[in-house]
Amino acid sequence: MIYLDNAATTPLDSAVLEKMLPFMRENFGNPQSQHGAGRTAANAVVAARDKTAHIMGCNSAEVYFVSGGTEAGNTALKGVCAAECNGGKGKGHIIVSAIEHPALIESAKDMQKFGFEVTFVNPDNRGIVSPKSVEKAIKSNTVFCAVMSANNETGVIQPVKEIGAVCKARGVFYYCDCVQTAGVLPLPAVHCDALGISSHKFYGPRGFGALYIKNGSKIQRLISGGMQERGFRGGTLDAAAAVGLAEALENAVNNAEVNNKKIAGLRDTFVNRVLAEIEGTHLNGDKINRLPANANISFDGCDGENILFLLDLNGIAVSTGSACSAGAVSPSHVLTAMGYDTARAKSAVRFTFGKYNTQEEVLKTVEILKRAVQKIRGAK
Ligand code: PLP
């Protein structure tokens, strides 16, 4: 298989697995247990939290382990809304960028049903959400704002620092979804009130993530239960996954420069060849402010799903729109929000490169892609 869907998920790094295995086998204790086995697991969780906090640039007490990016986003948005209701402010107003992952968009729609007012802020046609448009959307009762650090479909990087400053000046809680940028760009804890990461995006285990919440924030827990995560999130913690997340994050950060350069090189070779050798192709999103791994390309006269299907038949894995919402027939909400028409949005394919990809795979994909596009266009 040629795997070009690294924004959807990445394979577990074997070095990370080696660090996790002892906590699945011999040191399998529940970190809450008071015996030696429990203490061994608990100590590993403490070390993992410290490492994660150090990389995030915050205190260990500000890091909560969660099940991934979806839970992190749900917790931030709904937790702040719940706290605002309890604080007597009533049902306020929340801002979510129109290009957020469904974790935030659907959470906002859930809160709409409870009486919160929601503004979805559109990006410009490069896929960038401007700090000005966020500022314009803020009202006197705005309690929450979510704008991601980079988009999962286009890879376009957002002006997080400036948006953070706007929110801070107006007393609005700012959540930054950093699922696509953890281990690629520095994590912006200093510019926001909360941020979420997901370990399966940086060669760690699936089903695990971390949520930074600034000390002193007004936020209510969503998962009630035992005293895990200082009573903020009940449920037995997976010590192996915590160890895996911290190890994977540390590896990613330590090797970011080398990996980013290699991955951007592969991506650029791919994009340059596709745009030059296949007529009627368009790179979607800002050409400069983008993650090294992403290439989102529209192919005139083709359906993205058909390209995906033909590539899959040849053992090449890519995605259309967001992998998390694959199967949906509607065009990408991200490309639509950028102002692209349905034809361009529906003909888009996302190629995301990773540290295990090679130049040979890139060249082979270009050749197979050329034939696939020719076949689809010829069949019309
Ligand atoms: N946020 C973004 C930007 C994502 O790309 C994803 C997954 O693709 C998520 C959130 C959800 O993360 P998880 O799969 O860990 O729930």
Q: Is 101 touching ligand 1 by the criterion CB < 6 Å?
A: yes
Between the alpha carbon of residue 223 and those of residues 102, 146, 175, 194, the distances in Å are 20, 21, 19, 17
109, pLDDT greater than 70: yes
Pairing of strands 173-177, 194-198: parallel
Q: What is the mean pLDDT of residues 176-184?
A: 98
Number of separate helices (H) and strands (E) present in the chain: 12, 12
User: Residue 317: beta bridge partners?
Assistant: 3
User: Burial of 370 by CB count in 10 Å (0-12 exposed, 13-18 middle, 19+ buried)?
Assistant: middle
What per-residue confidence (pLDDT) applies to 321? 73
Average pLDDT, the chain: 96
Alpha-carbon gap, residue 125 to 66, rounded angstroms? 34
Q: What gap in Å lies between CA 15 and CA 13, rounded to an integer?
A: 5
Per-residue pLDDT at 312 exceeds 90: yes
Quick check: 324 pLDDT over 60? Answer: no
pLDDT digits (tens, 9 = 90+) for 247-285: 999 999 999 999 999 999 999 999 999 999 999 999 999
Average pLDDT over residues 59-66: 98
Nearest CA to ligand 1 atom 5: 152
pLDDT value for 372:
98
342-380 pLDDT, tens digit per residue, is 999 999 999 999 999 999 999 999 999 999 999 999 986
**Nearest-CA residue for atom 9 of ligand 1:** 69
pLDDT at site 335: 96
101 C-alpha to ligand 1 centroid (Å): 7
- 197 C-alpha to ligand 1 centroid (Å): 8
Does the C-beta of 179 come closer than 6 Å to ligand 1? yes
Looking at residue 326, its pLDDT comes to 52
pLDDT average, residue stretch 165-170: 98
| The pLDDT of residue 18 | 98
Residue 46 and residue 32: Cα distance in Å, rounded? 12
In the predicted structure, residue 74 carries a pLDDT above the cut 70: yes
Ligand 1 atom nearest the C-alpha of 148 is: 3
State if residue 155 touches ligand 1 by the CB under 6 angstroms criterion.
no
Confidence at residue 329, expressed as pLDDT on a 0 to 100 scale: 65
Q: What gap in Å lies between CA 125 and CA 134, rounded to an integer?
A: 16
Residue 296, ligand 1, Cβ within 6 A: no
Please tell me the distance from the alpha carbon of residue 306 to that of residue 372, in angstroms, as a whole number. 9
Pocket test for ligand 1, best of 105, 201, 202, 238 (most atoms within 8 A of CB): 201
pLDDT band at 322 (very low <50, low <70, confident <90, very high): very low
- Is the pLDDT at 94 greater than 80? The verdict is yes
pLDDT tens for 221-242 read: 999 999 999 999 999 999 999 9
315, 326, 321: which is closest to 352 by C-alpha? Answer: 321
SS3 257: helix
* 88 CA from centroid of ligand 1 (Å): 32
Residues known to be catalytic: 324
Query: Global pTM?
Result: 0.97
Cβ–ligand 1 distance for 74 under 6 Å, the answer no
- Type and span of the H or E element at 292: none
Tokens 């990408």 identify what position?
Answer: 332
Q: Is 196 in the pocket of ligand 1 (CB under 6 A)?
A: no
142 has a pLDDT exceeding 50: yes
pLDDT of residue 173: 97
Mean pLDDT, residues 4-20: 98
* Cross-strand pairs, 351: 295
Q: How far is the CA of 219 from the centre of ligand 1 (A)?
A: 21
Across the range 52-69, mean pLDDT stands at 98
Check if 205 has its Cβ closer than 6 Å to any atom of ligand 1.
Answer: no
